[in-house]
Structure 1
Amino acid sequence: MTNSVQSNSAVLVHFTLKLEDGSTAESTRNNGKPALFRLGDTSLSEGLEQQLLGLHAGDKKAFSLEPDAAYGVPSPDLIQYFSRRDFIDAGEPEIGAIMLFTAMDGSEMPGVIREVNGDSITVDFNHPLAGQTIHFDIEVLEVDPVLEEPDADPVG
């Protein structure tokens, strides 16, 4: 297929994300399972989508995104303080653990336990990679892949 990635394309990619120190933050190549993304659905940052536009299946691209174009800049508003009583059902929180919290609207948000101090527990809801420059290495496997085989029997 010769279609290039457009603003509403689905793309099947292998990617590696590296931090400034050269360490790998995430890689689909490690488990051999590529990732499927749909541009325009807000799952990817605008900066990342801009880098994917125009690429074709088989293309490889390496680039870096500053924090504001990648996972954002950490916001102090996303650091919340909880009472130890809030964790009675979940058990003793460990620093560095990622836990799911239910928001007022019923959605779930991951938060990282940053500090346990007496009765106070500090939880950071910023993305774990917020504030970091990310180095991307992306290989486009397919553009608008067929996700399901169409029915062989027409329904009539």
Structure 2
Amino acid sequence: MSQITIGSNSQVFVHFDVELPDGTVADSTRAHGKPARLTLGDGSLSGAFEAAIKGMEKGEKRRFSLDPQHAFGERNPDNIHHLDRTQFAADADLSEGTIMAFDTPDGNQVPGVIRELAGDSVTVDFNHPLAGQTVIFDLEVLDIVIKD
């Protein structure tokens, strides 16, 4: 019986670390002790990411890098907004670097990073924190399920 490999109709359970080129670990499923479940072909993963893991087998480890457009996208200046301080709770932490949840018109929440506070203007960056960065994945396949 041949080993099952990751294909375009696979759901995979993996542990991964996401690193920046300087070695900083930006995210880690290992640190949280909870593997990630990824579904190939559902549009949630970039084509480059899917291509990098296709053909891997259970137990296999792989290290690969993705440039910004194939990882979390380029930084988009349209995702930076200037809001009036009165739109925040009086006790909100508006320190630079603070990540806050913001409600969208459709009832979902999105994270925004406070970038600057100038008078009554609060600059909020809604770009993904890793947008514009080359990232390195250190990935281990824990299990593969072939979807029908």
> Scaled by the length of structure 2, what TM-score is found?
0.89
The equivalent residue for 2:139 is 138
Task: Give secondary structure in 1 for the equivalent of 2:13.
Answer: strand
Q: What amino acid is aligned across from residue 70 of structure 1 in structure 2?
A: A
Gaps of 5+ in 1: 146-156
Q: Across the two proteins, how many residue pairs are aligned to each other?
A: 145
The equivalent residue for 1:125 is 126
The equivalent residue for 2:66 is 65
Partners of 1:76 and 1:108 in 2: CA distance: 20
Deviates more, 1:98-107 or 1:39-48: 39-48
Deviation at 1:74, TM superposition (A): 0.1
Deviation at 1:52, TM superposition (A): 1.4
Partners of 2:131 and 2:47 in 1: CA distance: 15
Which runs of 4 or more aligned residues in structure 1 lie more than 6 Å from their structure 2 counterparts after TM superposition?
none
Q: What amino acid is aligned across from residue 105 of structure 1 in structure 2?
A: D
The equivalent residue for 1:26 is 27
Is 1:53 equivalent to 2:54 in the alignment? yes
Which structure has the larger Rg over C-alpha atoms?
1
Q: Could you give the per-residue CA deviations for residues 90-126 of structure 1, whole angstroms, max 9, x where no partner exists?
A: 6242211111111122221111111111100011010
> Scaled by the length of structure 1, what TM-score is found?
0.85
Q: What amino acid is aligned across from residue 132 of structure 1 in structure 2?
A: Q
Task: Give the fraction of aligned pairs with identical amino acids, expressed as a percent.
Answer: 49
The equivalent residue for 2:107 is 106
Partners of 2:40 and 2:97 in 1: CA distance: 31
Indicate how the Cα distance of structure 1 residues 90 and 37 shifts in structure 2: closer, same or farther if over 3 A, else same. Answer: farther
The equivalent residue for 1:85 is 86
Deviation at 1:3, TM superposition (A): 2.1
The equivalent residue for 2:95 is 94
Partners of 1:67 and 1:25 in 2: CA distance: 14
Q: What amino acid is aligned across from residue 9 of structure 2 in structure 1?
A: N
Q: What amino acid is aligned across from residue 133 of structure 2 in structure 1?
A: Q
The equivalent residue for 1:44 is 45
Q: What amino acid is aligned across from residue 38 of structure 2 in structure 1?
A: F
Partners of 2:127 and 2:32 in 1: CA distance: 26
Deviation at 1:89, TM superposition (A): 6.0
